[in-house]
């Protein structure tokens, strides 16, 4: 199975189903035409331990995003569209170059609106010797159909589950359907993982197959975080790892607003959510200690690793 380039002609790749003729140069809700654009390809050391390890994850950051999260820290690529035009062949070369640098995996960050290119590039790279796992690092706002179609290409799903509340999802990401969409996407990811044989780690503890569900705790919205924990447990139980993040940092837009998002997360709020995850029964929980600041996890989007080595 593969995702055809014909998908760009009347685009329904994401849950927005905007129908943009991206193949003709029209911009979809994601902010992209059918031209593949990448902002950075380099080793990344700030993912969960089974993803980054000590060697680093081979992260490739793509331009555009179907969501419009007001607290986004990657606005330069997600909203402003920064990126360098590349071919599927060049994307495959980036994967092989990252593997040669010692990357534990190839970490495709917000990539699914380019699914046809991904399928082609992964096939090329595997044919030329790519053997490390493919990680799909997604917002969770994906159609179950696309998850199913991409199942043979993805070994690890590193997925957000941002909200349980439709009203909060509408307010903060302009996507009232996010809770239902993310739930259906997670069900599809779980089915894909089961087909592949379930969660697996290598002898050094690096994940080779699995699902890590991430949740960023937002200040003033602990009740919704609790509901997210409950929903993920109901869908997947201990077939997934759970990563609870405390790195929320208000960007300029959020600092200009009144309300809880204008300031950072209170430690007590975070502790309540971590305790809830433990109480419901999650065995594989990742959490962040101390006062992390999200800017420290955001790399420079400067086209590092995107051009051919001779041009970098």
Angle between helices 115-127 and 88-100 (to 10 degrees): 50
Q: Is residue 14 part of a domain?
A: no
Q: Is residue 302 part of a domain?
A: no
Structure tokens at 64: 């555009």
* Model pLDDT, residue 162: 98
Instruction: Give the predicted TM-score (pTM) of the model.
Output: 0.95
List the one residue out of 3, 109, 115 whose CA is nearest residue 57.
109
Q: Is residue 309 part of a domain?
A: no
Q: Is residue 6 part of a domain?
A: no
The CATH code of the domain that includes 185 is: 3.20.20.70
Concatenated DSSP letters of the chain: ----GGGGTS--SSTT-----GGGT---TTS--SS-EEEEEEEE--S-HHHHTTT-EEEEEES--S---TT-S-HHHHTS---EE--HHHHHHHHHHHHHTT-SSEEEES-GGGHHHHHHHHHHHHHTT--SPEEEEE-S---HHHHHHTTTT-SEEEEE---S-HHHHHHHHS-TTHHHHHHHHHHHHHHHHHHHTS-EE-TTS-EEEEEEEEEEPPTT-HHHHHHHHHHHHHHHGGGSEEEEE------HHHHTSSSGGGS---HHHHHHHHHHHHHHT-SSEEE--S---GGGGPPP-S-TTTS-TTT-
Reported as a single tens digit per residue, the pLDDT across 101-138 is 999 999 999 999 999 999 999 999 999 999 999 999 99
Question: How many Å apart are CA 108 and CA 95, to the nearest integer?
Answer: 10
Question: How many Å apart are CA 131 and CA 100, to the nearest integer?
Answer: 11
* Phi, psi torsion values for 42, nearest 5 degrees: -160, 165
Please state, in angstroms and as integers, the Cα–Cα distance from residue 73 to each residue in 36, 47, 247, 251, following that order: 21, 15, 11, 7
Q: To the nearest whole number, what is the mean pLDDT of the chain?
A: 94
Are the C-beta atoms of residues 29 and 127 closer than 8 Å to each other? no
Beta-strand pair 106-109/134-138: parallel
**Mean pLDDT, to the nearest integer, of 216-238?**
98
Are the C-beta atoms of residues 309 and 262 closer than 8 Å to each other? no
Reported as a single tens digit per residue, the pLDDT across 240-290 is 999 999 999 998 889 888 889 999 999 999 999 999 999 999 999 999 986
Higher pLDDT, 297 or 281: 281
Q: Is residue 238 part of a domain?
A: yes
Q: Please count the structural domains in the chain.
A: 1
Q: Is residue 260 part of a domain?
A: yes
* Model pLDDT, residue 61: 97
Q: Is residue 241 part of a domain?
A: yes
Q: Is residue 30 part of a domain?
A: no
What is the domain range of residue 121? 37-297
Reported as a single tens digit per residue, the pLDDT across 51-73 is 999 999 999 999 999 999 999 98
* Model pLDDT, residue 300: 82
Question: How many Å apart are CA 155 and CA 5, to the nearest integer?
Answer: 22
């Amino acid at each position: 199975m593969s995702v055809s380039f014909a998908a760009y002609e009347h685009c329904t790749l994401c849950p927005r189903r905007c129908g943009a003729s991206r193949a003709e140069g029209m911009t979809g809700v994601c902010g992209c035409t059918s031209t593949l654009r990448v902002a950075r390809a380099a080793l990344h050391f700030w993912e969960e331990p089974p993803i980054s390890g000590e060697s680093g994850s081979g992260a490739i950051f793509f331009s555009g995003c179907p969501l419009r999260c007001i607290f986004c820290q990657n606005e330069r690529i997600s909203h402003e569209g920064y990126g360098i035009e590349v071919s599927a062949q060049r994307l495959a070369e980036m994967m092989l170059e990252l593997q040669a640098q010692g990357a534990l995996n190839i970490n495709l960050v917000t990539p699914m609106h380019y699914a046809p290119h991904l399928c082609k590039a992964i096939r090329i790279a595997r044919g030329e010797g790519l053997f490390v796992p493919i990680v799909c690092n997604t917002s969770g706002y994906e159609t179950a159909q696309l998850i199913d179609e991409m199942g043979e290409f993805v070994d690890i799903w590193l997925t957000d589950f941002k909200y349980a509340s439709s009203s909060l999802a509408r307010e903060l990401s302009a996507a009232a359907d996010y809770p239902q969409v993310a739930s259906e996407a997670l069900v599809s990811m779980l089915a894909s993982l089961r087909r592949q044989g379930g969660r697996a780690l290598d002898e050094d503890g690096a994940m080779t197959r699995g699902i890590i569900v991430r949740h960023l705790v937002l200040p003033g919205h602990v009740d919704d975080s609790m509901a997210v924990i409950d929903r993920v447990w109901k869908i997947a139980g201990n077939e997934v790892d759970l990563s609870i993040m405390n790195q929320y940092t208000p960007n300029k837009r959020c600092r200009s607003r009144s309300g809880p998002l204008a300031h950072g997360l209170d430690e007590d709020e975070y502790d309540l959510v971590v305790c809830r995850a433990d109480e419901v029964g999650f065995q594989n929980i990742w959490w962040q200690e101390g006062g992390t600041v999200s800017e420290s996890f955001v790399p420079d989007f400067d086209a590092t690793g995107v051009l051919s080595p001779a041009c970098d």
